[in-house]
Structure 1
Amino acid sequence: MTTSETVATAAVNGFAKLDGKAALVTGGSRGIGEAVALRLAEDGADVALTYQGSAERAEAVAAKITAMGRRGWAVRADSADPQAVRDVVEAVAERFGRLDILVNNAGVGVLGPIGELALDDVDRVLEVNVRAPFLFAQAASAHLTEGGRIITIGSCIAKRVAFPGASLYGASKAATIGLTKALARELGPRGITVNVIHPGPIDTEMNPADGPSAEFQAGLTALGRYGSGADIAATVAHLAGEDGRYISGAEIAVDGGFAS
């Protein structure tokens, strides 16, 4: 069954769980972000996605969303630019008339021995992986109402670092845990849930399942294999929907048992 057929069937059977909702997925032009954006659209949401690199790829994802009968919009925004972050949230809320779901997915990874990491590397990773999710959440919180959702994509090495050279990236992803728990407490009285998902090795262009370190990474999981973007998207969809209404401040590992 094609994606369009799945959506049509869901609509007929009343299973489009996010009808009338509007979502923003940062870094949604490829990999996990693309899978999340498409899944939210399948479940009925209008979806805006940010990108920094290829406009063609981002527009292709937006076109797929539109083909599902939802509103799709690709917006170029550098997550390292605080004003761009604020502007894109306001633009999405204005274009869709609301904002219900924020998925902080955009991120950068710089690995290497701590003594070899340049200051520019440190600044870029912290700007994109730590400051941007905070600023996106800050801007989105002005628009989110009862039932609003903030979901951040963390990492399996946010708490367990099984190999050397991940000090900078691991620190940045560990910060998403503190942000999530603090925001859950702060926004809970408004009926807004906040959660973080920690993916394990996921088959993407940046970290392919047939890449040079794939066998090593797969071996760190209990299942002995990579996951897919769809695995992460399914958990995002659950948290974004009504079934996730009583989950907040949680860390959810979708990592094939990496943390076991």
Structure 2
Amino acid sequence: MTDLSGKTYLVVGASGALGSRIARRLADRGADLTVTGRSADALAEIGDAHTVTADLRDPDAGRTVVEAAREQHGRLDGVVIAAGVVAFGPLTEIDDDTVDDLVLVDFLAPLRVLRAALPVLEPGGVILNVSAVVAEKPLPNMAVYSAVKAATAALFTAARTEARRRKVRVVDVRPPHTETGLAGRAIAGDPPRLPTGLDPDAVAERIVAALVDDETDVPSTAF
């Protein structure tokens, strides 16, 4: 287990099933954490961490959480973005409000966090985004969600080269369907019948491994 004592991380979406698991694993390795999410109660369950409640639909949320983490710790070594929403249904039935929420949370929020974090991360720092397998394999009845995830994966792939000048590693992770309960909390539509997903503990462990090693791209086949 890599010792992360003296390192500081911001985990965005830490109130979720996957984000909370990632945060706990970083804390177990000795990292100092700032965790963010919409649920203060869920964040409090993570334990010894600096908590910041935030709604990623707010245009200023990305900058606010990055600044809060850096101010709290005096430095910032890494950022994990594990927040997201999902919607189901035929394209013709997905209304504009649902599209807006998907774009705001699954694309614009990671973009804003990435943009805010790049200039302030320590040399050798890392920004990791948790995307989804649909970025590689778009699915019917998840067309908008698939497209937004693909756009975010493209964003992180392109930004990776730009970030090298700052000696910052940018990582995109696209896990297969994982039993986080996200499908049951869809913002629109009903989920299709899905096969049993991956164990979220195993997925979180794999993501942390990518975070602390030298990986930059973790496709669905790496799980």
In the TM superposition, residue 213 of structure 1 has moved relative to its aligned partner by 6.3
| Correspondence list, 1:154-233, <5 A | 154-161=131-138, 163-207=139-183, 216-218=193-195, 225-233=196-204
2:41 to 44, 56, 67: 56
**Equivalents in 2 of 1:46, 1:116: separation in Å?**
44
**Equivalents in 1 of 2:198, 2:222: separation in Å?**
7
Consecutive unaligned residues of structure 2, counting only runs of 5 or more, are 185-189
**Equivalents in 2 of 1:255, 1:239: separation in Å?**
10
**Equivalents in 2 of 1:240, 1:255: separation in Å?**
14
Alignment check: 8 A CA contact 2:11 2:36 kept:
yes
**Equivalents in 2 of 1:217, 1:76: separation in Å?**
32
**Equivalents in 1 of 2:56, 2:137: separation in Å?**
26
The alpha-carbon distance between structure 1 residues 255 and 80, as it changes in their structure 2 partners (threshold 3 A), is farther
In the TM superposition, residue 41 of structure 1 has moved relative to its aligned partner by 1.1
**Equivalents in 1 of 2:20, 2:123: separation in Å?**
26
**Equivalents in 1 of 2:211, 2:133: separation in Å?**
21
Cα deviation code 1:25-53 (max 9, x no counterpart): 1111121111111111112211111111x
**Equivalents in 2 of 1:233, 1:42: separation in Å?**
13
**Equivalents in 1 of 2:222, 2:2: separation in Å?**
27
Larger RCO (CA under 8 A, 6+ residues apart): 2
Cα deviation code 1:135-155 (max 9, x no counterpart): 101111121122111110111
SS of aligned partner of 1:157: helix
Residue correspondences, number: 218
SS of aligned partner of 2:51: strand
**Equivalents in 2 of 1:203, 1:240: separation in Å?**
21
Is residue 11 of structure 2 the alignment partner of residue 25 of structure 1? yes
The alpha-carbon distance between structure 1 residues 254 and 144, as it changes in their structure 2 partners (threshold 3 A), is farther
The alpha-carbon distance between structure 1 residues 253 and 56, as it changes in their structure 2 partners (threshold 3 A), is same
Instruction: Give 4+ residue runs of structure 1 displaced > 3 Å after superposition.
Output: none
Structure 1 residue identity aligned to 2:7: K
The alpha-carbon distance between structure 1 residues 79 and 254, as it changes in their structure 2 partners (threshold 3 A), is farther
Query: Which of the two has higher C-alpha Rg?
Result: 1
| Correspondence list, 1:71-86, <5 A | 72-86=49-63
Q: What residue number does 1:34 align with?
A: 20
**Equivalents in 2 of 1:142, 1:115: separation in Å?**
40
The alpha-carbon distance between structure 1 residues 187 and 45, as it changes in their structure 2 partners (threshold 3 A), is same
**Equivalents in 2 of 1:113, 1:124: separation in Å?**
17
Segment of structure 1 superposing worse, 228-237 or 149-158: 228-237
Structure 2 residue identity aligned to 1:150: I
In the TM superposition, residue 255 of structure 1 has moved relative to its aligned partner by 7.3
Is residue 208 of structure 2 the alignment partner of residue 237 of structure 1? yes
Structure 1 residue identity aligned to 2:174: H
Consecutive unaligned residues of structure 1, counting only runs of 5 or more, are 1-14, 67-71, 219-224
Segment of structure 1 superposing worse, 198-207 or 127-136: 198-207
Alignment check: 8 A CA contact 2:77 2:126 kept:
yes
Structure 1 residue identity aligned to 2:151: A
Q: What residue number does 2:187 align with?
A: none
**Equivalents in 1 of 2:145, 2:168: separation in Å?**
28
| Correspondence list, 1:34-183, <5 A | 34-52=20-38, 54-61=39-46, 63=47, 66=48, 72-161=49-138, 163-183=139-159
In the TM superposition, residue 16 of structure 1 has moved relative to its aligned partner by 4.3
Alignment check: 8 A CA contact 2:13 2:83 kept:
yes
